Amino acid sequence: MLTSICGINWGDEGKGKMVDYLSESYDIVCRYQGGNNAGHTVINDQGKFILNLLPSGILRENVVNVLGNGMVIDIKHLTEEAGRLREQGIRITPENLKISDKAVITMPYHVLMDCLEEDRLADKKFGSTRRGIAPVYADKYMKKAFRMGDLLHPDRLYARVNDILEWKNLTVTGGYGHAPITAEEVIAYFKKYGEPLKEYICDTGLYLNEANKAGKKIMFEAQLGALRDIDFGIYPYTSSSSTIAAYAPIGAGVPNLKLDKSIGIMKAYSTCVGEGPFTAEYFGEQAEKLRAAGGEYGAATGRPRRVGPFDVVASAYGIRCQGADEVVLTKLDILSCYEELEVCTAYELDGKIIHDFPYPDALDKCKPVFEKVKGWNCDISKCRKKEDLPKEALDYVKYIEKACDCRITYVAVGAERDAVIKL
């Protein structure tokens, strides 16, 4: 059984919380794309955890976690993240964490290049998280990256360092006028942060195939939403990897296996971190109210998120991109402070009303068309059954189901593990 949990919107939909919730009945949770550029916040009986690289299944004793080949791994960050979790009482050993030998290593010089480029762009910046993600994916496709499996053959790895740096320093020194990266610092870095990870590195594709044959249940966990996908998102304000469910078997290492189910995680309103078009955006007091209600500040960067009402056009597109068989609507509790809610049901582009998500460039010219729906204006965060929810909240869910042509199977009404209602 292979299930993907993926984001329908711009990210921060609450995927981590839902993976934590749904992983109870899974044996393996596997991250298949991205790096430490985004974060999941998970709150459960054991405490509050921020996960940037580790799959949310790491919080469950019996779940094996995989970092797939589609990922880019900052080995220093991974070491520190695992250290923090261990201090919080979480067990992390080669038995419950397996790292793909084909995953690419994010190096300190990728982080440096990300920062140098954002600084060069100044007010034209893309809103990078400055974690080196675009530069490391670029090197992957230039075939000039180091991979986790290289750490298992240090002599060969260290012999390649000079060749890579000769090329990399052309840009670092010539392009950006920065001091060159030295082989000594790179090798020292591998020794300090790479070598201790050796026991965790393996052919995770082989591991997952065998697990699948043995009837294990495997969950794929995405890190960002459909609208940040490198191909289908709001390019160039996207991530540098494929965030969509169809990529999950590839990024996990099992391109031969087919997904049984795609579960989309969709937020009851809209949020977006960083630059780029965001049609349904609220400003001023309207934004302040929603941001404060939802605590909308990025988990990885602390940046205030841009906010707006639910966007049917963008979400229906996200559902299609993710091939979502079912959808979980999260953070419904946050909308409890409204007597009347707005929903963005269409865009106006050059005087025409459109319902299909357009080419990103056109988004700059799109204006939101809002409809009003009745709110419930009472606390629903303690509701645990469908019958507990006020009629207006259920009507809101039905309204979204119809508008987006999807099946909503759960709603989430709080950050805690049990704050989920099956519909």
> What is the spatial distance between Cα 89 and Cα 82, in angstroms, rounded to a whole number?
11
Chain centroid offset of residue 102 CA: 20
110 vs 331, beta carbon nearer ligand GDP: 331
DSSP state of 120: H
Part of the chain binding ligand GDP (CB under 6 A), chosen from 8-16, 23-31, 92-100, 360-368: 8-16
* Residue 41 touches ligand GDP, criterion: CB under 6 A: yes
Answer yes or no: 12 catalytic: yes
**How far apart are CB 120 and ligand GDP at their closest, in Å?**
28
19 vs 197, beta carbon nearer ligand GDP: 19
Q: Which of 328, 330, 346, 389 binds ligand GDP (CB under 6 A)?
A: 330
* Residue 13 touches ligand GDP, criterion: CB under 6 A: yes
16 vs 276, beta carbon nearer ligand GDP: 16
48 vs 198, beta carbon nearer ligand GDP: 48
**How far apart are CB 383 and ligand GDP at their closest, in Å?**
11
Residues 390-419, mask of contacts with ligand GDP (x by CB under 6 A): ----------------------xxxx---x
Q: Which of 2, 4, 10, 17 binds ligand GDP (CB under 6 A)?
A: 17
List C-alpha distances in Å: 89 to 10, 19, 26, 58: 32, 20, 21, 11
Active-site residue, from 27, 40, 74, 311: 40
CA nearest 316: which of 361, 364, 266, 362? Answer: 266
> What is the spatial distance between Cα 392 and Cα 296, in angstroms, rounded to a whole number?
24
Phi/psi for 196 (5° steps) reads -65, -15
Answer yes or no: 153 catalytic: no
Measure the N-to-C terminal CA separation of the chain; round to a whole number of Å.
22
* Residue 81 touches ligand GDP, criterion: CB under 6 A: no
> What is the spatial distance between Cα 355 and Cα 279, in angstroms, rounded to a whole number?
13
328 within 8 A of 263, measured Cβ to Cβ? yes
6 within 8 A of 264, measured Cβ to Cβ? yes
109 vs 247, beta carbon nearer ligand GDP: 247
| Token pair belonging to 150 | 């290289």
Any residues with CB less than 8 A from the CB of 235 and at least 6 apart, and which? 360
* Residue 299 touches ligand GDP, criterion: CB under 6 A: yes
**How far apart are CB 415 and ligand GDP at their closest, in Å?**
3
* Residue 35 touches ligand GDP, criterion: CB under 6 A: no
> What is the spatial distance between Cα 269 and Cα 126, in angstroms, rounded to a whole number?
23
* Residue 4 touches ligand GDP, criterion: CB under 6 A: no
Q: Which amino acid is at 145?
A: A
194 vs 414, beta carbon nearer ligand GDP: 414
Q: What is the dihedral sign for C-alpha 60, 63, 69, 73? A: positive
DSSP state of 274: S
> What is the spatial distance between Cα 418 and Cα 384, in angstroms, rounded to a whole number?
8
* Residue 117 touches ligand GDP, criterion: CB under 6 A: no
* Residue 333 touches ligand GDP, criterion: CB under 6 A: yes
* Residue 272 touches ligand GDP, criterion: CB under 6 A: no
**How far apart are CB 242 and ligand GDP at their closest, in Å?**
17
Site residue total, ligand GDP (CB under 6 A)? 23
Phi/psi for 201 (5° steps) reads -90, 130
**How far apart are CB 21 and ligand GDP at their closest, in Å?**
9
77 vs 331, beta carbon nearer ligand GDP: 331
Active-site residue, from 12, 74, 325, 333: 12
Number of residues in the chain: 423
* Residue 34 touches ligand GDP, criterion: CB under 6 A: no
127 within 8 A of 273, measured Cβ to Cβ? yes
12 vs 81, beta carbon nearer ligand GDP: 12
> What is the spatial distance between Cα 24 and Cα 265, in angstroms, rounded to a whole number?
17
**CA-based radius of gyration for the chain:** 22
* Residue 43 touches ligand GDP, criterion: CB under 6 A: yes
43 within 8 A of 304, measured Cβ to Cβ? no
Q: Which of 2, 5, 15, 242 binds ligand GDP (CB under 6 A)?
A: 15
Q: Which of 53, 113, 133, 334 binds ligand GDP (CB under 6 A)?
A: 334
* Residue 107 touches ligand GDP, criterion: CB under 6 A: no
| Token pair belonging to 162 | 């000079």
Hey, which residues does 370 pair with through a beta bridge?
344
**Positions in the binding site for ligand GDP (CB under 6 A):** 7, 11-17, 38-41, 43, 299, 330-331, 333-334, 412-415, 419
Which positions are catalytic?
A: 12, 40
